[in-house]
Structure 1
Amino acid sequence: MKVLLACGIAAGLSWLLTAVLRRYALSHSLLDVPNQRSSHTVPTPRGGGLAIVVSFLALTCFLVLTANLSIPVLLGLAGAGAWVALVGFLDDRGHIPARWRLLAHFAGAAWALAWLGGLPSIPVPGCRLDLGWSGNVLAAVYLVWLLNLYNFMDGIDGIAGIEAITVCLGAAMLAWLTGAGLLAWLLPLLLASAVLGFLCWNFPVARIFMGDAGSGFLGVTLGVLSIQAAWEVPRLFWAWLILLGVFIVDATLTLLRRMVRGEKLYQAHRSHGYQHAARKYGSHRVVSLTVGAINVCWLYPLAMLVALRWLDGVVGLVVAYAPLVWLAFRFRAGEE
């Protein structure tokens, strides 16, 4: 009952804060004005993702005091998330050069990993792989890539919110099924609830956008939660990677193809697969809901097989990603 109450409060608080932020953005002309690289056609308020940040962190801190949740995990999660959100907020209000943003992102990732204890050993076929300090370097790159790819993938109405909700609900269920600790399933539930309150305002047609503060926060928080879950049940790390497959495949393939063409990676563009799909079908709603359907109907069953030890993690990842790679090429991810 306490969990349901906490989730309800997180959703309600996020919904209310988003309404307040929307009114503030409209009154102060904080609008995302369309240009040739935009996927929207009407000036729209931005910065609503701050509602997710505040509501999730507030409820998480409350539960630490009332449910004896781990202080180190809270400090790592809240510190990295709040720092990345602050950098994103400042970038939303005024431009921060890409190199300084990247340096700040790595600082947030290092902070989180220091409190989590780094990257745990990960099960691979025939053994458990412990990479030591090099694993921590790879984990930092993983967190920074996740927070940036989440920013890249937040380009049409509703897609970032639907991705976060479906991934978090799936991860929470798998953590519960595998007997992981309270944090491994409670924190994803709280995050999904906070995102739900915002999504009520962002579902197509969006009345407010998430902004870099919200998308970066979601990306790094999902990454930290996946590493924390791996400390509880190591095979859950593979399950998280499978659940995040749509965003990881589209963003990574787009990045690689733009690198091959010698384009500036920090320059705005509209070449992601989901953006091509939205233009082809003339609907943000169809594409965003399809992403949710892929997560629920394809990625979640495979992640469950891995979490329950019915399928090896590496094999499950390859099987899960193969059709996603085909879809990314099918919808011209990375092509102008």
Structure 2
Amino acid sequence: MLLIAALSALASLLVTGWLLPWLRRKAMDRPNARSSHVVPTPRGGGLGVLIGLLPGWAALMVWTPGTLLPELTALLSATIVLAWLSFRDDRKPLPPSIRFAVQIAAIAFVLTMQAPDRLVFQGALPLLADRLITGIGWLWFVNLFNFMDGIDGISAIEAGAIGLGTALIAALAFFRFDLAAFGLVYAGCAAAFLWWNWHPAKVFLGDVGSVPLGLLGGWLLLQTALAGALSAALTIPLYYLVDATVTLLWRAYDGEKIWQPHRRHFYQKAVQRGFSHSAVSLRIAGLNALLVALATASLHPILGIGWTGLALGLCATAALMRVFAQGRGAA
């Protein structure tokens, strides 16, 4: 399984580089008033990530318990459909209603393949309510992952934290080394893309990368919640969850069209107020390391801090967002 993770990462690294000349001809991202970059840069690098990631996950299904195979088969099929649609959107923007409808259908399809006894809220809610809340949360995560992909390195770092965090918890807390391997492949392919996406980026993920990574990362977090560790599943991606949600509510309050591009995320404000892309992404990486540690500690048999880990993570996230809002002069 470790060999598969390494080969998947290597494939992502090499294929992304191989695709770069073609992406420069077919999918250039020209800076505009809402951009955080100033140099035309190709987008669609997520194709290279997926070419390494999806075969890796398919190979890992050999070690996966049979009860998970229908769900995983549905997940990989849904990912391919979303990747195809998202790449079309990268080249020629599609109406938000179409993208949203296909995302809903994809998530609903995967959830219908999930065994009835696999419940996020551990039986505290009826099956239909559990699935509905899970689906809405997953749909929001797919979109917020896409929204947050706005500066160099940020989404590769976030995906790496999700992959490593869920892998650590699966292995150390639940001894599910099969699930841990999925997280390692996910993190490895994200790290490989970081080679091309670190500031100044040679290529962007594009929707073809951020939307499928949101779907697959959401599934990894869902597995953590299904195992009885909902607080840990919420703690790991806390920066993305809070920044995206607060910004969305803020924009809605101001009467903006929330589906349109903008520059109001806290990490974008940090860049506007003096931080470099690298400085912002490194600070988020540091926060993510703390969040992974808190999530893991929440399940430790001795420490067992439980939901306190989520509360501490919220405090740390709020502190970093305040630094970003104030800008470099106040840091």
Say yes or no: TM over 0.5: yes
Question: Please, which of 105, 108, 123 is the counterpart of residue 106 of structure 2?
Answer: 108
Q: CA deviation at 1:300?
A: 1.8
- The match for 1:120 is 119
Which runs of no fewer than 5 residues in structure 1 stay unpaired? none
Q: CA deviation at 1:67?
A: 6.6
Q: CA deviation at 1:86?
A: 1.9
Residue deviations 1:301-323, cap 9 Å, x none?
A: 21012222544644432331133
1:174 paired to 2:169: yes
Structural mapping, 1:1-336, within 5 Å: 3-26=1-24, 28-65=25-62, 70-117=68-115, 120-122=119-121, 129-231=124-226, 233-235=227-229, 237-296=230-289, 298-308=290-300, 310-311=303-304, 313-332=306-325
Residue deviations 1:115-145, cap 9 Å, x none?
A: 223661436xxxx623420111111111111
Partners in 1 of 2:63 and 2:251 — Cα distance? 48
- TM-score normalised per structure 2: 0.91
CA distance 1:98–1:67, shift in 2 (3 Å):
closer
Q: Secondary structure at the match of 1:116?
A: coil
Partners in 2 of 1:164 and 1:57 — Cα distance? 15
Q: 2:48 is aligned with what amino acid?
A: A
- On the 8 A contact 1:76/1:114 being kept in 2, the answer is no
Q: CA deviation at 1:277?
A: 0.9
Q: Secondary structure at the match of 1:331?
A: helix
Q: CA deviation at 1:173?
A: 1.1
- On the 8 A contact 2:12/2:48 being kept in 1, the answer is yes
CA distance 1:260–1:47, shift in 2 (3 Å):
same
Q: Secondary structure at the match of 1:23?
A: helix
Q: 2:111 is aligned with what amino acid?
A: L
Partners in 2 of 1:251 and 1:67 — Cα distance? 33
Q: Secondary structure at the match of 2:298?
A: helix
Partners in 1 of 2:220 and 2:78 — Cα distance? 12
Q: Which moved more, 1:247-256 or 1:304-313?
A: 304-313
Q: CA deviation at 1:189?
A: 0.4
Q: Secondary structure at the match of 1:209?
A: coil
Q: 2:171 is aligned with what amino acid?
A: W
Partners in 1 of 2:215 and 2:244 — Cα distance? 15
- On the 8 A contact 2:197/2:204 being kept in 1, the answer is yes
Q: CA deviation at 1:61?
A: 1.4
Q: Secondary structure at the match of 1:179?
A: coil
Partners in 2 of 1:24 and 1:267 — Cα distance? 28
Q: What's the C-alpha RMSD, in Å, of the aligned pairs?
A: 2.0
Q: Secondary structure at the match of 2:109?
A: helix
Q: Secondary structure at the match of 1:307?
A: coil
Partners in 1 of 2:239 and 2:318 — Cα distance? 9
Partners in 2 of 1:313 and 1:213 — Cα distance? 36
Q: 1:43 is aligned with what amino acid?
A: P
- On the 8 A contact 2:167/2:179 being kept in 1, the answer is yes
Q: Secondary structure at the match of 1:317?
A: helix
Q: CA deviation at 1:53?
A: 1.5
Q: Secondary structure at the match of 1:172?
A: helix
Which runs of no fewer than 5 residues in structure 2 stay unpaired? 327-331
- TM-score normalised per structure 1: 0.90
Partners in 2 of 1:170 and 1:37 — Cα distance? 32
Partners in 1 of 2:323 and 2:20 — Cα distance? 36
Q: 2:299 is aligned with what amino acid?
A: A
- The match for 2:329 is none
Partners in 2 of 1:116 and 1:84 — Cα distance? 19
Partners in 2 of 1:292 and 1:177 — Cα distance? 22
Q: 1:229 is aligned with what amino acid?
A: T
Residue deviations 1:2-41, cap 9 Å, x none?
A: x221111111100111012211112x24200001110001
Residue deviations 1:69-114, cap 9 Å, x none?
A: 7422321321232222222111111111111111111111111211
Partners in 2 of 1:173 and 1:208 — Cα distance? 30
- On the 8 A contact 1:49/1:213 being kept in 2, the answer is yes
Q: 1:301 is aligned with what amino acid?
A: A
- On the 8 A contact 1:60/1:187 being kept in 2, the answer is yes
- On the 8 A contact 2:26/2:91 being kept in 1, the answer is no
